[in-house]
Amino acid sequence: MQNKLTIQEIKKVLLKYNNSRDNLINALHELQDKHTLNYISNQIMDECASYFNLTKAQVYGVVTYYSMFSTKPKNKYRIYLCKSPVCTNMGSEDILNYLNDKHKISLDNTDNELFSLERVECLGRCGKAPSMMINKEVYTELSPEKIDKILNDLKS
């Protein structure tokens, strides 16, 4: 798996933006989304600093200020399992245990290259609980069978 953006790929993204500092956040969003490991690498910060005429410390300040940016590599598929009351009542703990036991995906497992797991507050799909989001897609009415299908589809 390619796990970084090349300098050429970073520059190609940056050239889509006017080099006004106002565009830094949008460029960072796109660069993070394009990075296989979904984070803002040192190289991305260097290239952004140079392109937007900022110091690296200024770019770092922006990246660390906003919670949607990460300075650490993430897994390809990031699972966000709802832990709010409705989903909990509808079995999200069973889903958590199933992910742990059957798929070896757990909250503290950093060895899994493909999947990471986090608990999050309500995803706004309480009517079809339990719910989870993988990257930006929400999945509802989860069951062990549905988890198997979703994960197998992503792996294939």
Binding region for ligand FES (CB under 6 A): 82, 84, 86-87, 122-126, 129, 131
**Local structure of 140: helix, strand or coil:** coil
Of 123 and 151, the one with the shorter C-beta distance to ligand FES is: 123
Q: Angle between the 92-103 and 144-155 helix axes, to the nearest 10 degrees?
A: 50
* Spatial CB neighbours of 79, under 8 Å, sequence gap ≥ 6: 99, 105, 115, 116, 117, 118, 132, 133, 134
Q: How near is the Cβ of 139 to ligand FES at its closest, in Å?
A: 11
Q: What is the DSSP letter of 73?
A: -
Q: How near is the Cβ of 129 to ligand FES at its closest, in Å?
A: 5
Of 25 and 150, the one with the shorter C-beta distance to ligand FES is: 150
Q: How near is the Cβ of 103 to ligand FES at its closest, in Å?
A: 20
* H/E element, 9: helix 7-14
Of 41 and 131, the one with the shorter C-beta distance to ligand FES is: 131
Of 32 and 131, the one with the shorter C-beta distance to ligand FES is: 131
